[in-house]
Structure 1
C-alpha cells in the first residue's frame, strides 16, 4: 500500500509537497534534497508532481519522476488540457512500468495561447478521466479537485454538485484549490459530512507575500481580495524580512488550523529547499504550543491578518459573499421558456415512439448517410439547424438532454459535467462570457432538477466522433454502430440526443 493511501486509510496527517518540474538540473537536486527530509513536524511527506502548469512544453510529471535519482512516494498529476483518451491511457501504461499507482486528475486551467474566437481546444475533463482510469485500474488511488472559494451561489453550488459526480466517477479523495478563507474550509468539512461515505480532503496551502499574491491573482480560481493585497503591501513596506517572517508564520498557522478543523492532510506549495522547510517547521512547532483549540486559532488567524491603521481583512471579493446553504437564485423567464421549448422539441422528435420521431429516425438511418458525401451533408444539416439554437459544434455525441439543453460545446474547454475551478463571480475563466454551468445551475434549481447535476456522468467525446451527425446513432435502438455507419470507437457514449 502506498504511503499516501495508507495515511488516508489510517486518518494520519500527511504533507503532500508539490514539485513543478523545470528543466534545470539544480531544480531537481533541490527537490530531491528536500524530500530526503521525509517529514514535516513528524508528518510523512509525499511528492506531488504538477502537470503543465506553465504550458504544453513543460516537463511531464512522468518524465520528471524518471529524472529523480532516488524514487520517492509520488502523486502524479494529469491535466486534461488539449488531451484525449489516448494520452491518458499512454500515461497509465508508463506508470505501470514505473511502479506508480496514484493519480490526481484535473481538467486544467486555460492553456496558454487558447483565446476566445480561436479554433476550439477540447479538454479531457476530470469526471471523464476518472471514469476511464477507474475502469482500467480499479485499485489505484485517484483524486480530483474541488474549488470551494466561490462567492456567487451558481458557481459555488455547481462546484459541490460536480464534486459529487467526481466521487461517483471514482475519486478516492479531493484536493482543494488554493485559498485562505477559513469559513470555506469549514463549508467543505460540513459538505463532506453529508456525503454517503467519508471524503478525504487535501487542503492546498502556500506562504503568501506581496509578489506571490500578484502572481496568484492571475491563476484561475484563486481569490486575492483588495484588503489582503493592502495588508501584504503594508508588511513589505516595513521590510522584506518582516513580510517574509509574517508569511511563514501565517502559513504555519494555516496548517495548524486545518489540522484542528479535522483535515488530515495538506498540499504544500512554494517550499523549494530544506532551509524553507525547516523554517516552516520551527514556526509550526512554536505556534502549536500557543494555539490548541479552534476558538483560539480563529482569533490568531484574524490577528495574523491585521496591521495597525488598516481594516480587518476580508477574504471574499468585493460585493460577493455567498455561503453554502444560502439559496436565492432563480432562472429567468427567458431561461425557463428556452428550456421548456427545447425539451418539448426533443420529446417530439427524439422520443423514438411518436410517428414524428419514428419517421425522422427512419429518414436519418438510410444508407445514403453512411457514404462520405452523405455523412458530410447530414452533419452540415444538423449543425445549421442546431447551431443557431444551442451553439452546436456537431460533436457527434449530442448531450443536450443531460445538460438541460445548454450545449457543452459552447464552453471554451468543452466541459460537460460541471464547471472547472477557474470561474470568478460566475464569469468564465476566459472572461468573455458567463459560465454555462452557472446558467445550468439556475435552471436546475428553478425546475427541481438538481439531480441531473449530481448523478448523470457524461462521458467524454472521442476525437474520432467529432464533426459527425449524432442523429443516426441516437436512433440505433440497440446502440450498435452498424446502421449509422460508425466505427466501434465512436460508440463509447450512450448519452445522446
Structure 2
C-alpha cells in the first residue's frame, strides 16, 4: 500500500495535508464524510487526525484514522505524550503497525485543561521520535512528522525551538510542520536555518483559515503557542463585517500564505481551521494563481510583534553576559575532580558507593543528604537520574511536563504554558549556555529517565552506571 504523503515529499511535489480535529464535539460520522470529500482532491495527500487538541480528549484517533483510510484518505495520526507512558505509546505504535497505519505526527501535546486524571508526560517529543525510530529499525515502516514553532519572539524561545528541531531530525524525523503563525519573516528564517546547516528535512507550513472567534481566542494566547497580533485581529474584525462574515477574506489570506510557502521552498501546506473540501479546493486553485506574486505577498504577511526577536546570520555575535556563580563553581569542581570518565577518583568513588548501596541504612541516609542539598539549590524531585550537568544545572523535573530536551511549543515570551506567571525553565538553560559559549551543547540528546530509580540516590546510580543520561554509560 503506497503512502501518498511519503511519496509526495520524496518527489519534491508541493502537497497538502488537512487537519481533521477529532473533537468530542464533532460527530465522527461527519468527520468521515469530510474525509471522503478530501480524498477526491489529488493535491491532498493526508488527513491529520488530532489527539488531545488544545488539551481536550476527543475521539480515538486510531479508529478515526482507520475509518478515514477506508474512505480513501491517507491518515497522519497525532501521537501525544499526554495520557500514555512509554509502554502505552509503544502499544499504540504496535497497533498502528498492525493496522498498516504508518504516518505518525509525534508531539508532546498540550497540557490538559480539564479532567480528573493527571497528565503522564513520561516522554517528550524528541524521546518519542527516538522510540518510533527504534521500532522502525525493527522493521516497522513508520513515517514521522514533528512540529516546530518559528513564531517565537524572544531569543531563548526562538533558538531553543530550532535546536529542538535539530534534535528531532537527528532522532529520525522525516518532515516538520510549523505551528500556527502569520509572519513570512519567521517562515523564511526557519527555512534558512535548516538550509544553512545542510538539513533537507521537508517543511510544511501551517496555514490556518482564521475566523473572528478563533482570532479573538488566539489573541489571548489560547491554544498554547498560538498568537494573533493586534493588527491581524483588527483586520479579521473588519473583514467579519462583510456580507459573507469575512469568509472570502480568510480564504484569500490562506491562499496567499500558501503561495508564500511555495515561493520560500516549503514542501507543502498543512491546512487547519477548515476541512471543507470545497474551501480547500478553492485555496489550492487560488494559491496556484498567486504563486508568481509570492514575494510581494510575503512583504504583506508581517504580523509579528514590534521589537520581536529574529535570527540574523549577518548580525554580530553579542557579548556573553556574566554567567551565574553556581554553574561556574560546579563546572570548576568537575574539572578539578574529574569523574565523568574512567579515572582513579571515579573508580575509588564507585567502590565507596557500591559499599553504601549494599548497606540499606547507609543508602537511605545518603538519599536524604542528597535531597537536602539539591532540593533547595535546584528544586530536585529525586528522579534518581540526575542530568543537571547536561542542562546548565537546571532540573528538568521542575518543568510541569518534565521535558528533558527543550521547551514545548506552548511558551509565551519566555513564560511557561502551564504556569504563566513563571518563566519557562528552559530560558535559564539557554541563557546560561549562551553565557558560557556552549549553545551547541544544547543539541545533546537527553534520554528519558529510568522511572524505577525514583526516590533513590542519583549519586549511587551514576557511579554504578544504573541511570539514564547522555553519552556512554547512561543506561
- Same-fold status (TM-score > 0.5): yes
Of the structure 1 ranges 172-181 and 28-37, higher mean CA displacement relative to structure 2 is found in: 28-37
Question: What is the CA distance between 1:21 and its match in structure 2?
Answer: 1.3
Structure 1: runs of 5+ lacking an equivalent: 303-313, 482-489
Q: Is the 8 A contact 1:155 1:426 kept in 2?
A: yes
- Contact 1:400-1:496 at 8 Å conserved across structures: no
Cα distance in 2 between the residues matched to 1:122 and 1:235: 40
Distance 2:135 2:119 in 1: 28
Quote the residue 2:124 is aligned against.
125
> Secondary structure of the residue that 1:241 maps to in structure 2?
coil
How big is each residue's C-alpha offset from its partner over 1:170-223, in whole Å with a ceiling of 9 and x where there is no partner?
A: 111111111110111111111121233411011111111221112333111112
* Cα distance in 1 between the residues matched to 2:280 and 2:401: 38
Tell me the equivalent position of 1:173. 175
Counterpart in the other structure of 2:58: 58
Q: CA–CA distance in 2 between the matches of 1:261 and 1:445?
A: 30
Q: Is the 8 A contact 1:330 1:443 kept in 2?
A: no
TM-score by length of 2: 0.88
Aligned with 2:244: secondary structure? helix
Deviation at 1:86, TM superposition (A): 0.5
Aligned: 1:183 with 2:193: no
Q: Return closer, same or farther for 1:66/1:234 CA change in 2, 3 Å cut-off.
A: same
Partner of 2:205: 203
Which residue does the alignment assign to 1:446?
A: 435
The answer for the alignment partner of 1:260 in structure 2 is: 263
Q: Which runs of 5+ in 2 are unaligned?
A: none
Q: Distance in 2 between matches of 1:280 and 1:56?
A: 26
Q: Deviations over 1:366-421 (max 9, x none)?
A: 255564x6654433322111111111111111111211221111222111111111
Query: TM-score w.r.t. structure 1 length?
Result: 0.84
Aligned with residue 472 of structure 1, among 449, 460, 465? 460
The equivalent of 2:79 in structure 1 is 78
Query: Which residue does the alignment assign to 2:23?
Result: 22
Kindly tell me the number of residue pairs found equivalent between the two proteins: 464
Bigger RCO of structures 1 and 2 (CA < 8 A, at least 6 apart) = 1
Change (3 A) 1:462 1:66: farther
The equivalent residue for 1:246 is 249
Q: Considering only aligned residues, what root-mean-square deviation do their CA atoms show, in Å?
A: 3.0
Q: Distance in 2 between matches of 1:89 and 1:158?
A: 27
Match for 1:362 among 344, 351, 360?
351
Return the alpha-carbon distance in structure 2 between the equivalents of residues 343 and 11 of structure 1.
Answer: 47
Partner of 2:395: 407
Distance 1:60 1:283 in 2: 29
Distance 1:351 1:22, change over 3 A: closer
**Can you list the C-alpha shifts for 1:276-334, whole angstroms capped at 9, x where unaligned?**
x32342354346435513333336x45xxxxxxxxxxx52234434334457766653x
1:223 and 2:227 correspond: yes
Question: How much has 1:128 moved relative to structure 2?
Answer: 0.8
C-alpha deviation, 1:435, in angstroms: 1.8
Number of the residue aligned with 1:285: 285
Aligned to 2:133: 134
**Superposed CA offset, 1:209-243 (max 9, x none):** 2211123331111121111112222222x336151
Distance 1:283 1:102, change over 3 A: closer
Distance in 2, matches of 1:392 and 1:244, equals: 52
Q: Bigger shift: 316-325 or 249-258?
A: 316-325
> How big is the shift at 1:50?
1.0
8 Å Cα contact 1:17/1:48 also seen in 2: yes
Task: Give 2:194's match in structure 1, choosing from 177, 181, 192.
Answer: 192
Contact 2:163-2:442 at 8 Å conserved across structures: yes
Q: Does 1:435 align with 2:439?
A: no
Q: Note closer, same or farther for the CA distance 1:196–1:319 as it changes in structure 2 (3 Å cut).
A: closer
The 8 Å contact of residues 352 and 358 in structure 1, kept in 2 or not, is answered as no
Q: How does 1:314-325 map to 2 (within 5 A)?
A: 315-325=303-313
1:458 to 431, 441, 446: 446
In the alignment, what sits opposite 1:47?
Answer: 47
